[in-house]
Structure 1
């Protein structure tokens, strides 16, 4: 039976929000005009970065700094500090009004004092000045074509969201474009109801299947294509996949050794070794036989399969491993799960 499309993320008890395709996200945010507001549900600051395209920017963008600031006054004071730091970094480009012909005329006394501060290497902040004056003048210095202020709001903590909303609305009334981001839908109650009018849900394409699939990390030796093939074949096998780990060590206290084996079923005490041509000749051949003796004396069954057998008939090699596993499970009446 076909399934209905998943509804757009909306607000509890409210009709689904209109959708904004993620492809249109950059143009809508960066194209906001003075005093305009955009509220997006279903995306946060971490999510918008990949979609912002500076070539679409009609205005500058600044992310509002919130961390460590609990009151609206503290958040706004921090915003003005940030703008003053940016103004200092851009000195002396904003000193002359003709450098920003589209911006409002500068306030003469502020411009004179700000230029003096900047020339001395100090950010042009004046604590006794009206915040509205500072915002207007600093925006003119930093973003003469206009500024978009972006902030992420906590949809589950009204007490944390309230001062941010207050700052966004204050800045919007004083000519700043604002974009409010909600990672998930907030309830339509105060203080959220102040900004939810006209909100849109961000519509993102589904993640490709590769991004939604997590395979366990390979433990095969990175230089051994044969080990990787056998490991992959075992993982795909419902019976054998949960049993074996690759490139594992086996503690042998009696002999004081910890040999590393290609494949190990620890609970069943079964070892599988995959041997290349070098294992046919001494001293490797003799060392292998001695290690087999130690493993056998410690209660392990050892199955050796050559690389050539894996390369010519991988499924037959898997069936050999299955036979040894079933032998171990049934031998002497012991049922190992």
Structure 2
């Protein structure tokens, strides 16, 4: 995907709601898949549904708190990732973080203690303090300067629901210090927002703003997409993905899995091929694991997945695909299969010539010898 940096800069305006006419569901998925630190942190909101503005705000803040909790303790300064952090240590590091950045500390301390496993003392922070603290910690966790909440929604929502959603997004833009993007066909009844184009060219083709978002085909409730999908964090499982988080916990103490890499690009692909970020990678064994949500059953992503798999297989990678449901419902079986694959591809190459414990007596009995 190619983006004109100056156009992207103009479209990142914390505190504002914008309509970005050349970002549809497919382009947004590409932006979320990127691990570039030069991009904002993208939050892909596939809502909002027919709800009140307050309900939309709470839904997004609750989902964002889960994401920030999954990133813990990456957003704390001076943490040792291999060592456990208790609630008191988390509080001290959170206070230091707030002092360094001049950020009010109470809501951040509350979130840090909760992420460290402490009981929630007293009442939760007010929504406005919570919103600001969550996006502050999200920026810290990713090491990026800005956050974009990009919205794709059913164009057939009643006008009252679209107006309620617009009010929610205006509140979030203001109180969470982020930019809200309405994608090409989201909330068409909301017209009093600035419109712009950022010149996205995914895979060499310019976006058609009328193209429908890539949607899953009849997902079951267990396969439902999360409220928010967030940018991939390089080296970590996706914080919005319960399946990736579950798989990582299962692999964390397995010696055979120690060389795993989350959300990285294989380094030895043909430079003429498009760059790809894979969910889970073992470079030495040349094994790629993809953990697919329900949206991978949509026609656009399904076709892209096949092209990516073919490219990786031509480069000698074994590509294994599991659905979210498969990982969540039978984690032990998935881990056992991965252990067998990694073990099998870690063994030295078998000798190409037959061996024998007894020396041959004639040339005819051993075709690998050279006659004298």
After TM superposition, is the score higher than 0.5? no
Please, what TM-score do these two structures have when normalized by structure 1?
Answer: 0.43
Please, what TM-score do these two structures have when normalized by structure 2?
Answer: 0.40
Larger radius of gyration: 1
Higher relative contact order (CA 8 A, sep 6+): 2
